[in-house]
Amino acid sequence: MGWNRKVLRVNLTAGTCTPEPLNMAWANDYLGSRGLASKYLVEEIDPKVDPLSPDNKMIMATGPLTGTMASTGGRYTVVTKGALTNAIACSNSGGYFGAEMKFAGWDMIIFEGKSPKPVYLYVENDKAELRDASDLWGKTCWETEETIKVSHQDPQIRVSSIGAAGENAVLFACIVNDLHRAAGRSGVGAVMGSKNLKAVAIRGTQGVSGIKDFPAFLQATSAAKKVLADNAVTGQGLPKYGTQVLMNVINEMGALPTRNHRDVQFEEAGKISAEAMHEKRSTDGKTHLVTNNACFGCTIACGRISRIDETHFSVKNSPKYWGASGGLEYEAAWALGAANGVGDLEALQYANMLCNEHGMDPISFGATVGAVMELHDLGILSKEQIGLDANFGSAEALCKLVEMTAHGEGFGKEIGMGSARLCAKYGRPDLSMGVKGQEFPAYDSRGIQGMGLAYATSNRGACHLRGYTVASEVLGIPVKTDPLVTDGKAELVKAFQDATSVFDAAGICIFTSFAWTLADVQPQLQAACEGDWSMDKLNEVGERIWNMERQFNLAAGFTAKDDDLPPRLKTEPAKTGPAKGLVNGLDKMKPEYYKVRGWTPEGVPEKATLERLGL
């Protein structure tokens, strides 16, 4: 079996920690992690609940491959109703925390209620208890992790925590583990903060036992690792350049959203690219990139560890930021850079470090700053209102705004609402570049048409990790499709969404899908887990997870109207590049997609679809 069959239920109101058996019937239908935790959430909360109320729940969950020798098998997810989106939220993180949860013997931890005072959960194998976190409240994620390790005198404890952003209900607050890995999107950190839960600290020494057929598992995981090693993207591109390898590629194809999506190409993309991170700086002769880095069990190692220029204006008086630290990854570099017209690599790394330190999603933060800069450019927000000149391209403004937002100072409080609420407040809701309240990631859907449909229909709001058709439309994985046409994209988006649901539920990293299809994952799951995990079953599980999440959102009040893109992407053609003259063809793709999904024209799953999936 790939599961420990044990759930820890933590009632923060009562201060109790209670073990219970994992619902194996649900595990059979939803596999684990994103799928299984979402099933628990859907069964246990009112979809209309206020995300920041004690009645919302937050679930940390592993998958059956988490903690095993499957490559990238270190993932864990946080499932809740999102503070930023009001939709179902599932944020996924790497590092080592997920594997440690498995080693301690738990598949899942369910947090409910609200603690009357700040606490952290300490788990040591079977032992679990809530401890006073009064002295941790106010500390950064980095300080919290260090303080917990020192106080328990155990450097091998793994910690997930919130920083000032989560404590202060910044709506895109995230949960940071292992210093620079994060369950980043949809405001899961704000939910954790609303519960007065500062951190979860775990130490597990039990390993992973009970793999159903160990020789078969060894064979399947070894074969799958060879596929990763032999693939040009996962074997060479990602280890050497990280996800940042995409910066120049996406810019050249005219799909790099720039200055709040006014443009689709950034003239300074080369200065913030993966290649630039390898170049020696003129100031100190060192490269920005120090080394690559891997999460638990990962044979790809796409992570970046970088060192900022000590003479840069952002840190010259702050030695604490001079050491090597996580970043930059592509999405953060885009959101902090091109989205704001900022081409200063050191400034981006500084802003990224502050996002990690204080627990903020750099995508939503950076994209919200892009909206602020456009409102400033249009004269809607003055220098006096913002507290500084927030001009497109200003690295100084970016660095100051990240400090203000992290600490909840001045206009930083407004940025902490996210772009949808902020733009609505200032009378221009159309300038928020996102879907369902969540900001877009780094692909302009005028140049990559399928991504427009993937964003619009994503169950957790705009997101690249729910249906990454970039793989097909840009990289030709598993087959090349034309990024500039809408034909066939409904089927493509559905296939990516369903397959991604299975990758997530298994407990592995979605970046394996640059090389793996479900056919590479299937033998690993079949060898690890009892029961039938055939391709047919996995396809059905993926579709079931997607439809279950959809049903939750419909019950929460979302409708087909929310499966939409900002008017800019549908009415303002791309100005340059291969997509010049194009807008996104969502209005053509959406009805096709609903049909392919077995949904009504109003976007509601048909009775026959629900029955087929057992929903």
**Would you tell me which residues interact with ligand SF4 (CB under 6 A)?**
72, 94, 294-295, 298, 300-303, 509, 511
**CB 294 → ligand SF4: shortest distance, Å?**
5
**What six digits make up the tokens of 253?**
């194809």
Residue 580, burial from CB neighbour count under 10 angstroms (0-12, 13-18, 19+): middle
Percentages (nearest 5) of helix, strand, coil residues in the chain: 45, 15, 45
CA atoms within 13 Å, Cβ hemisphere of 467: 29
Which of 403, 520 has the CB closer to ligand SF4? 520
**Largest CA-CA distance found in the chain, in angstroms, rounded:** 67
CA proximity to 181, closest of 150, 212, 160: 160
Cα 70–chain centre separation: 21
Nearer of residues 65 and 369 to ligand SF4, judged by Cβ = 65
Between 386 and 508, name the residue whose CB sits nearer to ligand SF4.
Answer: 508
* 115/234 with CB nearer ligand SF4: 234
Task: Kindly state the smallest distance separating residue 92's Cβ from ligand SF4, in Å.
Answer: 9
- The minimum distance between CB 179 and ligand SF4, in angstroms, equals 14
CA angle in degrees (0–180, nearest 5) for 38-42-46:
140
> d(Cα 41, Cα 37) in Å, to the nearest integer?
6
- Nearer of residues 243 and 438 to ligand SF4, judged by Cβ: 243
For 135, the token pair is 């002295």
Minimal distance in Å, beta carbon 297 to ligand SF4?
8
Whether the ω angle into residue 84 lies within 30 degrees of 0, i.e. cis, is no
Beta carbon of residue 243, minimum distance to ligand SF4 (angstroms, whole number): 8
Nearest to 516 by CA among 221, 227, 218: 227
From the CB of 93, what's the least distance to ligand SF4, in Å? Answer: 9
At its nearest, how many Å lie between ligand SF4 and the CB of residue 48? Answer: 34
Write down the least CB distance from residue 508 to ligand SF4, Å. Answer: 8
Give least dist CB 442 to ligand SF4, A. Answer: 16
- Taking the least distance from each CB to ligand SF4, the nearer of 45 and 298 is 298
3-state secondary structure of 336: helix
Edge-to-edge order in the sheet of strand 325-326: 289-293, 303-306, 325-326
Query: Which residues does 346 contact at the CB level (< 8 Å), separation at least 6?
Result: 288, 308, 309, 312, 314, 315
Record the tokens describing residue 63, joined without a space: 């998958």
Q: What does each C-alpha distance from 564 to 48, 265, 461, 594 come to in angstroms?
A: 21, 23, 10, 13
> Is 36 within 8 Å of 30 (Cβ atoms)?
yes
Which tokens belong to 128? 């679990």
Residue nearer to ligand SF4 on the CB measure, 335 or 509: 509
Please, which residue, 76 or 411, has the CB nearer to ligand SF4?
A: 76
Report the residue number, 60 or 465, with the smaller CB distance to ligand SF4.
465
Calpha distance 342→349 (Å, rounded):
12
SS in 3 state form for 550-601? HHHHHHHCCCHHHCCCCHHHHHCCCCCCCCCCCCCCHHHHHHHHHHHHCECC
Q: Which residue, 501 or 551, has its beta carbon nearer to ligand SF4? A: 501
DSSP state of 233: I
Q: How many helices (H) and strands (E) does the chain have?
A: 26, 17
Smallest distance from the beta carbon of 72 to ligand SF4, in angstroms? 4
Dihedral of the alpha carbons of 590, 593, 598, 602, in degrees to the nearest 10: -10
Cα–Cα nearest to 465, from 90, 94, 175, 189: 90
Is the Cβ of residue 103 or residue 511 nearer to ligand SF4 in the bound state? 511
- Is the CB of 303 or the CB of 343 nearer to ligand SF4? 303
H/E stretch holding 531 reads none
Looking at the Cβ atoms of 300 and 518, the one nearer to ligand SF4 is 300
Cβ-based neighbour number of residue 93 at 10 Å: 24
Minimum distance, C-beta of residue 303 to ligand SF4, in the bound complex (Å): 4
Closer residue to ligand SF4 in complex, CB, 465/538: 465
Compute the least distance from the CB of residue 76 to ligand SF4, in Å: 11
The CB-of-510 to ligand SF4 minimum distance in angstroms stands at 8
Least CB distance to ligand SF4 at residue 478 (A): 18
